Structure 1
Amino acid sequence: MRSRAYDEVTVGETLPELPVPLTRTLIVATAIASRDYQDVHHDPGLAAERGSPDVFMNILTTNGLIDRYVTEWAGPAAEVKAIKIRLGAPNYPGDTMVLTGTVTAKHDEDRRVEIAVRGANRLGAHVTGTVAVRLPGGAES
């Protein structure tokens, strides 16, 4: 896999969409893998008792999916410098979250690129935020 070079990225460039099927297995397994044992992420009955129609994805999984989305676009030489996200509508099993992104800024002094990201499902925006990555400079790097 080739890494994106700082020189070839432009402000306004859009990242390819990434649909993420939201299976019950994905939601439960990633909550457990991230050691988030909060019952609303793995027990449908207890989630319902707390007012949710079903289990829903935890923020650690969302953060990881955002990281994956940006680094798949940027390539293996990219260095994630910051991820800042805000959650909105829950991700429930049976839906699909579609991740999108747009390059919003470039910083020549450290070859840092800022990307506005959004993940939406049938209920609306599940996550919005910004990811900053440092990219290699190009042929001279």
Structure 2
Amino acid sequence: MELGGELPPLEIAVTRTLIVAGAVASRDYQDVHHDAKAARDKGSPDIFMNILTTNGLVGRYVTDCVGPDKRLCAVRIRLGAPNYPGDTMVLRGTVTRVDEAAGTAEISVVGTNGIGRHVTGTVGVGPAPAGERAGSE
């Protein structure tokens, strides 16, 4: 990883199934994540993605880009514009800090959708322990 390097963008279709499945998988049973009528009654135009699903998607994005020899050390994100069904979220990342001696880096991540920035934050990565690396037994 090189300081200032850009990760390739990742487009994620924000489907109703993704929103509901992410909420259920993270045991977030708030009605605004699965019940469109309840979401509308609370002022939202539709159901919307929860932060735990977003956190998982950010983690997946970074780990897919940095490879199997790195692991997530810290994920710090903040939500903005909601992810509604039918939209597309595009994740982009930039390497903002590199410590070659330690094998660590920090990546700034931004996820945008049709109405603005859905997520912003930083992800720290470091070397995966030998037993967690791809191909290790």
Q: How many residues align?
A: 128
Q: Which runs of 5+ in 2 are unaligned?
A: 129-137
CA contact (8 A) 1:113 1:135 kept: no
Deviation at 1:77, TM superposition (A): 1.7
Q: 1:12 corresponds to which residue?
A: 4
Q: 2:50 corresponds to which residue?
A: 58
- Counterpart among 37, 52, 75 of residue 45 in structure 1: 37
Residues 8-35 of structure 1: per-residue CA shift (max 9 Å, x gap): x110100000000000000011101110
Q: 1:128 corresponds to which residue?
A: 120
- Counterpart among 13, 16, 27 of residue 21 in structure 1: 13
Residue 91 in structure 1 maps to residue 83 in structure 2: yes
**Aligned counterparts of 1:68 and 1:93: Cα–Cα separation in 2:** 20
**Aligned counterparts of 1:77 and 1:42: Cα–Cα separation in 2:** 36
Q: Which runs of 5+ in 1 are unaligned?
A: 1-8, 137-141
Tell me which stretches of 4 or more aligned residues in structure 1 moved more than 3 Å: none
CA contact (8 A) 1:102 1:117 kept: yes
CA contact (8 A) 1:100 1:119 kept: yes
**What secondary structure does 2:20 align onto?**
helix
The amino acid of 1:37's aligned partner reads: Y
- Counterpart among 29, 36, 54 of residue 28 in structure 2: 36
**Aligned counterparts of 1:51 and 1:109: Cα–Cα separation in 2:** 50
TM-score between the two structures when normalised by the length of structure 1:
0.88
TM-score between the two structures when normalised by the length of structure 2:
0.91
Q: 1:117 corresponds to which residue?
A: 109
The amino acid of 1:63's aligned partner reads: N
Q: 1:69 corresponds to which residue?
A: 61
Q: More relative contact order in 1 or in 2 (CA 8 Å, sep 6+)?
A: 1
